[in-house]
Amino acid sequence: MNAPQDAAKLLVHYRGLRQWIEKVEGMGELLKVDGASWDAEMGAITHMLTEKSGGTAPAILFDNVPGYPSGFRTLYGELSSIKRIALTLGLPLEHGRKVDVVKQYHDRMRNLKPIAPRWVNDGPILQNVLEGDAVDVLKFPVPRHHEADKARFIGTADCVMTQDPDAGWFNLGAYRSQVYDARRIGCQITEGKHGRVHRDKYFERGQSMKVVILVGQDPLLFLLSGSPLPEGSELDIAGGMRGEPLDVVRGPYTGFPIPADCEIAIEGECVPGEVLPEGPFGEWMGYYSDDSVPRPYVNVKTILYRNNPILCCAPQHKPVDETGLLKGIAGAAEIWRSLEACGVPDVLGVWNHEGAPATRFTVVQIRQRYPGHARQALHIAAACQGGAYNGKWTVVVDDDIDAGDIDQVLWAMGTRFDPISGIDTIQKAWSSKRDPMYLPGNFNNRVLIDACMPYNMKLAGTFPKVVDVSSNLRSALRVKFPQVFAGR
């Protein structure tokens, strides 16, 4: 995996959302639905197809939305199958365990050389440019995603581009965006996120902040925007993953680099002191936990869009939702990177469980090498940048337990964990109102579970032997009784 020729094979080969959709259709993973309403129907259909799909739900392309011209489409569930995430990241489509995809992605990122975007003068995104009185974000079939949402949200599977006022780099983060009217939209950025740090810096200086919100774009950009990557532009990382720069045009209002082949880009600015009530919105933890709160909004100045644009959507809800795998793979890879950067040896797997969801239940799989190894991995996984935000349960398991297999993890917790000595807690950790157990003062508490065999017993070989079928007998039986195991 680390050899240069392997890295070359792992480049992202499709270009832009439209080619990605063609490939997904070729894989048999695209569902086209005509006639669903923007008012809760598209969100509910996606919810119902995803909640029990076990990572096999289709991507859904909605067209002929009542009240909108044919061709003005929405795309839901981009990343709700492992195969589509692998396609998006340029990884092999077939895999054994879920954590194998995390490992491949982690290896890829470890060797990645970012490539800065290339400025071009033209691109499909300039096919339509709305300015002045023509600006209207409801020109697109913007959904009210959940039945109890009070507003339509144009930004869910989005990329909010902000520029650091000191260092000048461009961040992309997925932050939700409510519609107030034709020219005002929200931008809910939680404390500590890069976009929030940028905005706080501008506002502390009494300055407005320019912003570009991509609401239809290459799924790779959305995946990177929704991942807790370290400082540095996601545009450059996407270039590195493709092995060539992204073509970008200069935003007419902001001057920001806008991907030339994206679908819809909204330019605007946030003004210090200008706030509107934002939310409620069906949240990623599965609750309406965040009431309506006054938050800064975006004054929209320009809208750029392609002919027959596709608005990308990713509302979240009670698990399993369409972003569970994104957080399982991209979020877990970030925790793996931190464990490695802190020198923790023999990490064999990391998985953020879709049902929890995400960092609410993170499992790290290690081959124990020394006393205290398990506890070291636990604390770093729970406190590193990729694991710290809104964590709840962090569990460490042995090498024979597949971190991505919840049955095996529960077995380890049920049989290798001691409730007195195997548990640590962290108090006053990084949280947000999305957490229904959010504590006054903006914190949450969390629990670390050591579900590894006690190291001294493992070393002495005194931990009871596991009841299992040996790999030799498994292989022999598969050969001897092919009809029994066909397709299993």
Ligand X SMILES: Cc1cc2nc3c(=O)[nH]c(=O)nc-3n(C[C@H](O)[C@H](O)[C@H](O)COP(=O)(O)O)c2cc1C
Residues forming the site for ligand X (CB under 6 A)? 156-157, 171, 173-176, 188-190, 193-195, 225-228, 314, 316, 323, 326
Nearest to 214 by CA among 75, 116, 74, 312: 312
Closer CB to ligand X, 104 or 188, in the complex: 188
Quote the tokens at residue 473: 């007998």
Closer CB to ligand X, 225 or 394, in the complex: 225
For residue 224, the minimal CB distance to ligand X (Å) is 9
Closer CB to ligand X, 302 or 390, in the complex: 390
Other CB atoms within a 10 A radius of the CB of residue 445 amount to: 13
Q: What share of the chain is helix, strand, coil (3-state, %, to 5)?
A: 30, 25, 45
Closer CB to ligand X, 141 or 315, in the complex: 315
Rounded to 10 degrees, the C-alpha dihedral 457/460/464/466 comes to 110
- The alpha-carbon radius of gyration of the chain (Å, integer) is 23
Q: Phi then psi for 373, rounded to 5 degrees?
A: -60, -45
d(CA 482, CA 478): 5
Closer CB to ligand X, 172 or 451, in the complex: 172
Closer CB to ligand X, 311 or 413, in the complex: 311
Other CB atoms within a 10 A radius of the CB of residue 348 amount to: 18
Q: Burial, 464: exposed, middle or buried (Cβ in 10 Å; 0-12, 13-18, 19+)?
A: exposed
For residue 137, the minimal CB distance to ligand X (Å) is 17
Closer CB to ligand X, 368 or 432, in the complex: 432
Which residues have CB under 8 Å from 106's CB, separation 6+?
A: 333, 336, 337, 340
For residue 331, the minimal CB distance to ligand X (Å) is 8
The residue behind tokens 């949240």 is: 283
CB 194 within 8 Å of CB 202: no
Other CB atoms within a 10 A radius of the CB of residue 298 amount to: 27
For residue 401, the minimal CB distance to ligand X (Å) is 27
For residue 155, the minimal CB distance to ligand X (Å) is 8
For residue 230, the minimal CB distance to ligand X (Å) is 8
For residue 227, the minimal CB distance to ligand X (Å) is 5
